[in-house]
Structure formats: structure tokens, C-alpha cells
Structure 1
Amino acid sequence: MNPQRLYKYLDFNEGSLKAISDATLKFTSPKDFNDPFDCLASYSDDFVNLSIKNQREHLYRASDNKKLSPANKLMAGVRAMRRAKSNIQDGGIFSPLRDSDIGVLSLSSNKDNLLMWSHYCRHHTGFVLEFEPEWYGPRSALETPEIRLNSLVALEVNYSSDRPVLQGKENASQKLDKLLLTKSIDWEYESEFRVIDNFRKAGIHPYKRKLLKGVYAGAKMGINELKTLKVK
């Protein structure tokens, strides 16, 4: 689904106002998401087996370079297998994603959600920005930074009762999208779309000003704040 409009819920503060005056938006690192289980996965049997196989091959190459004795090579192999299994069980294989510099801009296809107005707009005292994204057909086109980012090409989040399950046959891009675009069913009310920035990383980044089509003030916004918003 490619909605004609996407929305950003914001608190009223200096940084948020720059989203209007400077045409910039904040891209957040996964480690700062408000759901601690966001971007954590489960693993299929074939993924586990492939991971252990790759770990074993890496170990053999490393031990050959170090010229370990057969006994030490065996012990190193046992320790490596234990670490691999532990990483898989703990979700550690892809936990670096949560600590990475990948930036994510969260948008919504719904501007009228009362819970989001209360949560993200400080009890209806903030505002919502309306954007008209530029959409491009093939998924591969999104790999071009200028297209995906400046044009605010967002990908739809999938909601599930289960964590995403990674398969051994999936490529790195497929795994990354599955991790970044799957959230708990409890968040379904947000109708979220995400712009994923693995080129400029997390931080404040510009967008095409022409994409901003409207600003909606919260029902409890103060008079002075409303005047400031109109000036922007």
C-alpha cells in the first residue's frame, strides 16, 4: 500500500519546529526505539545450521593461520560453537543492528489517532506534519539514497504476534527489511511507515520542502505556540 499522504506526530519544541523552518527531520537509531523488542528476531533451523557452519569454517581458517595444535584447535572449535549457539538463542547475531547508526524515520498513514496525539504530541499540545511522498515502482529503486531519503520513500511496517523469523536463504537486504519492518501487533494502531537511512545514518537530515503539504495543530496547543507555528 502506498498512501497519498504520510504524517509525522511531533511535540512542540525548537527541534520539531525546524522540521518546518529548516525542512529537516530526525532519523532515530534502533537502540532508541521505545519498544525494546523492536528489531529482534527468531531464527529458523536452516538459519541456525548455516550460521554454525559459517562459524565453523571461519574458525578453521583462523586456526590454520595461528598454527594451533590439534588439541587446541578442537577446544577452540567447541568454544566457538558454544558462542554461536548462545548468540542465536539470545538474538545476538543481529543485536548489533540495534546498536548501529542506521537511522529510521517513523511516519504514519493516519493523522487522527487520539493515542498518538496524546503520546507523541504531548497530550495534544504538539502538531502533526502532512507529507506527500514520492513513490517509485521497483523495490530496487529504494537502494538509491537520494530517492529513498530526500523523497521520503517509506516502507510499510508489518505487525505480528511473533518475532520475525530469519531464514538462511534470505540475503542481507531481506533480513534487514524483515527486522526493521516488523513490529508487535500491540503497535498496529500506529499504521507506521518507515524511511530507512543506512547511508547518512541516524541524525537530523533534510527532506524536499515541496513534500510538506500541511500542518495540524493539537487541540490543546496554547495561543502563543499557535502563533509561532503560523509564523513558521
Structure 2
Amino acid sequence: MMIPKKLYKYRKFDVVALRMITYHGLYYADPRRFNDPLDCELSIQPDISPRKLSDLLKSLLGPEREADWRHEIASARYYASEEGDIKLAGAARDYLRRILADRIGTEIRKDFDQRGILSLSATWRSVLKWSHYADEHRGICLEFDTTELPHDRLAPVRYDGVRSVMASDIYAWKLGGDEAAGSRAFETHFYSKAPDWSYEQEWRDIGDKPGECGDYRITGVYFGFRCDHAVQVAIVKMLGLDSNVDLYDVHLNPYSFELSRAEIDAGEIDALGMREPREIETARLISEFYDVDAVSNDTPELA
């Protein structure tokens, strides 16, 4: 799928948002802190034989941990026997495969859990995302350009309900050197979410570890329809009038449930600047009025 030229990040207006604007400060987040407990929660589907699963586990643990893998495999076989947890011979094989798959998952997590994820959206007009991630429409949405640098790991999230990584893919990847199988395992784990999340139209970039990501340039700022005018003033002042960042007011469409946008004149907002306190401003205007009146009364008439 072709990468969109623009992707979006919804934020409440806070220090993190200011850092995003000032330093193009996007971050690869730790997936273990995501609000969806099923997101990037590794699940291994044991679709190969116990023998292959045993060989895979031995390979992942390595020869230096021979005592460990011998113990793991012996324990799995014991609990899948009549002397262990399983009393029905027909269920022992499936139980053994599940135990081995879980142990393999523990090893694969050591690599996968080190990664970081940058989450963006393909749209700025999601009513739900404005509500959930942008302080109930009081925040902002940042527009980022994707065309300046290559983004090899930037891809859309799938919402097809498949989240289990096939043990056969991990076996082919780790023991057979099949990079395509490794890519399938990687993509299933990092780019799959439940169908309930499809409204997000999410795209993800995967980093080697959580932390800063400076590969995207901000090209637009969208202000929610409940966003305070002071937020607009602060961002315009921070960007300056020479900025190439486009600014938009987001408002409700009067005839549908969709959102619309209107471009903002940054110069007009910048000209307003900081306002005087209301009473002081009123007193100043009154003072200027009386000064003008006094000058006009004292001016002699011309002959």
C-alpha cells in the first residue's frame, strides 16, 4: 500500500505537544504501556509438531543454555503426560505444544519487547480520535510529512482480528533463515489490532527501541473546535510568521456529523499579541479619550 503523503497525531495541548512542535519531537512509545492490553501482546499459534517446537526452543536458548532447554522440554513433556496435568492421552499432544509455544514466546518477546512504536493516523477528521486523544476537541492535531525520508517500517495497521504469530513462521525464520517468514511474524505482532479500533486508521513506524523519532517534519497544525484562542496565539507566536506550517481551525459541519476545516491567517492572530488586563485597558482608553478632549479644548481657533 502506498504511504500517504501526510499523517496525523492527535494531542492535548501540553508540554509534550509543545516539544513535538518545537523539536519535531515524535517518540517511539513502549508498547507495554498501550491502553489496549491485546496490542502487541505476543501470542504463538502452535501449528507445528512437538518435535519441531522442541528443536525451535533449543535453537532460541542456544548451546550455552543446554541445561535450561533440556529442563524446559523435560518439564513440558512431564506435564503433558498421565503423571502430570493431563490424564487423557488424546489431549497430551496439544497440551505439550501449547506449553512449548508459550516458552518460545517468552524468548521471542526478548527481542520484540525492546522495540518502540510510533502511532499516526491517516486522517485529521476523526471525531472519536479528537474526543479520545485531543482533550475532547480542546487540543490539537499535528500534520506530518512522510515524503522527505524513506520509512521502511511505516505501514498501516490491520484490523482483521488475527493476532497470533504462527510457530511455523518462527521455525522457518529462526532455523531456516526464511526472511519472508520472519517478516510475517514481525508484521502480525506489530501491525495487528482488534476490529474495534479500525476507526483510528492507524499507521505505525517501528523503532529499534523506545525513544525519540526525528524523521518527520510538521507541515500543519489543526485546532479543535473547542480549542482555546490562547492556544492558537501561543503556537503562532512560537512558530513565527516565516513558518511553512499551515494552520487550520476545525469546526462542525452544520449538515452532517463530519468535521470541516478553515485555514487561519497567522498574521492576524500574531497582530493581536498579548492583551492587556480588561480594567487596565479600559482605564487607558478613558485616559486617552480625556487627553484628546483636553487638547482639543485648549487648541486656539485659527483666524
Task: State the 1:57 CA deviation.
Answer: 6.5
What is the count of residue pairs matched by the alignment? Answer: 207
CA contact (8 A) 2:46 2:101 kept: no
The superposition leaves residues 110-155 of structure 1 with CA deviations (integer Å, 9 ceiling, x where unpaired) of 11111100111011111111122128xxxxxxxxxx7338xxx621
Counterpart of 1:147? Answer: 150
CA contact (8 A) 1:59 1:80 kept: no
CA distance in 1, matches of 2:72, 2:187: 34
CA distance in 2, matches of 1:214, 1:60: 50
- The letter of the residue matching 2:124 is K
Q: State the SS of the aligned residue for 2:159.
A: strand
CA contact (8 A) 1:55 1:80 kept: no
Counterpart of 2:54? Answer: 52
- The letter of the residue matching 1:86 is I
Structure 1 gap ranges (5+): 67-72, 136-145
CA distance in 2, matches of 1:225, 1:76: 58
CA distance in 1, matches of 2:154, 2:60: 37
Counterpart of 2:134? Answer: 121
The superposition leaves residues 138-184 of structure 1 with CA deviations (integer Å, 9 ceiling, x where unpaired) of xxxxxxxx7338xxx62111112232342333543331122001111
Cα 1:195–1:46 change in 2 (3 A) is same
Q: State the SS of the aligned residue for 2:118.
A: strand
- The letter of the residue matching 1:133 is T
CA contact (8 A) 2:162 2:188 kept: no
Relative contact order higher in (CA < 8 Å, ≥ 6 apart): 1
Are residues 1:176 and 2:177 paired?
A: no
- The letter of the residue matching 2:235 is L
CA distance in 1, matches of 2:62, 2:191: 36
Counterpart of 2:163? Answer: 163
CA distance in 1, matches of 2:72, 2:220: 60
Cα 1:56–1:105 change in 2 (3 A) is closer
TM-score relative to the length of structure 2? 0.59
Cα 1:188–1:20 change in 2 (3 A) is same
Counterpart of 1:138? Answer: none
Are residues 1:207 and 2:215 paired?
A: yes
CA contact (8 A) 2:163 2:188 kept: no
| Aligned equivalent of 2:147, options 128, 134, 143 | 134
Counterpart of 1:8? Answer: 9
Q: State the SS of the aligned residue for 1:221.
A: coil
The superposition leaves residues 22-67 of structure 1 with CA deviations (integer Å, 9 ceiling, x where unpaired) of 111121011011111112334141286533222357789569x77x
CA distance in 2, matches of 1:186, 1:49: 37
Cα 1:94–1:222 change in 2 (3 A) is same
Task: State the 1:16 CA deviation.
Answer: 1.2
| Aligned equivalent of 2:75, options 67, 79, 90 | 79
Task: State the 1:214 CA deviation.
Answer: 0.8
Task: State the 1:231 CA deviation.
Answer: 2.1
Larger Rg: 2
Counterpart of 1:191? Answer: 201
CA distance in 2, matches of 1:59, 1:42: 17
CA distance in 2, matches of 1:229, 1:117: 19
Q: What is the root-mean-square deviation in Å for CA atoms of aligned residues?
A: 3.2
| Aligned equivalent of 1:227, options 227, 230, 233 | 233
Q: State the SS of the aligned residue for 2:5.
A: coil
More deviation, 172-181/120-129 = 172-181
Counterpart of 2:101? Answer: 88
Q: Percent same amino acid among aligned pairs? A: 28
